[in-house]
Amino acid sequence: MEFRQAKLSNGLEVVAEIHPTALTASYGIFVNTGARDEQHGVAGVSHFLEHMVFKGTKTRSAAQVNLEFDRIGASANAYTSEERTVYHATVLPEFQKPVMDLLCDLMSPVLDAEEFRKEKDVVLEEIAMYDDQPPYGGFEKAMEMYFGSHPLSARVLGTYDSVSGMTVEQMREYHQLRYATGNMIVCATGNVDFERLVEQVQQASEHWPVGTRIRENFEVAIHPTAAVMQHPAACQNYWIRVSPGPSRRDQDRYAMRLLATILGDDTGSRIFWELIDTGLAEGAALYCQEFDDVGLVQASLCAGPEEFEAVQEVLVNVIHSGVTVPPSQDELEQAFHKIHASIVLASERSSNRLFTVGSAWLSRRAWETADEIIARYRAVTLNDIQRVADQYLKQPAISLLVCGEK
């Protein structure tokens, strides 16, 4: 295995984790832009733009894009989050050139006004469908409560009003501004020909906008509060709790992830044995969510309205037990082996490594092998677990209850 990197004359970076004996190769273009980078007038534009990128380029129609991916047997897709948009594909190694031709071409979409109008209806339907699913927009509302005026309060899909009022000119301006060479990386994993990849990307990106958009980091002012959101379709009660946690760049993230696994994993955790195995709750979990500059510790609960308060008290007590009843060495070992196994299983696929390698480089300009990541988890001690429990589980939190109309 070998790691290679190159910075092109236009500022675009190309990185690759190369496995010469791998049977597949994965390629991705990581754009350092997402919901937190949008102004309120264009909330949801990053996700909407992700849709539009596949609706035709200057050299290919939407049908041709899909057909050419199919012809080479590519598994291709894209996603948008609060901080990045990623376009990716996995193919057999001999199809490196055609798949990169396609991915690079997608970075120059036509953004046709008529296609924009048609796709807007698709995005609006997606927003409506999401809001109709339990817990009915509760997680987005909880993030808005927690982050307030911080950019991370933005919804990835946007809102019905923001998407309805968006214009194709606004999307074109956003694309020109954010899809610039200093704001993107090309990442590849698996059986990759790096020299040819660099040559191809250099030629394909010659006409891309040049520049870098600096993302500002902001402090989060937390105002502990509890709110209730009623939804006529809710038959169960859904409770969401959000408090501070380590960021994606904080070394404490390893200890906090282990603690969250001990307390709130979906199998074998304290929450599982107290709430799920006993049948008290339909769903309950504790987990971490990490961004470049801040992080969250989130808890969720789904239970019937009649017994909800008693079940909620059990969940809160289990969370606090991370401080009052320090995890044992056996619990730490079990959590480590769960995470260890998931990392090893994921690393067997070039597509999984693509997201790990690309995200780490985009966030921290760091290459981390699976073995190095596992070693960092292995180095976490019970003292580290207790320290992060004391630091984060005692932090102020906001909570949101989603319930049916009374």
- 406 confidence band (pLDDT: 50, 70, 90): low
- The percent of residues in the chain predicted with pLDDT above 70, rounded, is 100
Report d(CA 315, CA 238) in Å as an integer: 13
Alpha-carbon separation of residue 384 from 6, 285, 343, 389, 394 (angstroms): 37, 22, 21, 8, 15
Report d(CA 254, CA 380) in Å as an integer: 7
Residue 155 has pLDDT above 90, yes or no: yes
Whole-number pLDDT of residue 125: 97
Whole-number pLDDT of residue 219: 82
Report d(CA 355, CA 395) in Å as an integer: 31
Whole-number pLDDT of residue 356: 97
Report d(CA 347, CA 371) in Å as an integer: 10
Q: What is the pLDDT averaged over residues 276-296?
A: 97
Structure tokens at 307: 């017994």
Question: Domains (ranges, CATH) in the chain?
Answer: 2-204 (3.30.830.10), 226-403 (3.30.830.10)
What letter does residue 377 receive in the DSSP assignment? H
Cis bond leading into 135, ω under 30°? yes
pLDDT tens, position by position, 233-263: 999 999 999 999 999 999 999 999 999 999 9
Whole-number pLDDT of residue 110: 97
Report d(CA 133, CA 149) in Å as an integer: 26
Neighbours of 223 (CB within 10 A): 9
**CA angle, 317 then 398 then 400, to 5°:** 90
Taking each continuous run of H as one helix and of E as one strand, the counts in the chain are 15, 11
Helix (H) or strand (E) holding 77: strand 75-80
Whole-number pLDDT of residue 28: 98
pLDDT tens, position by position, 4-16: 999 999 999 999 9
Neighbours of 181 (CB within 10 A): 21
Residue 179 has pLDDT above 80, yes or no: yes
Q: How far is CA 62 from the centre of its chain?
A: 26
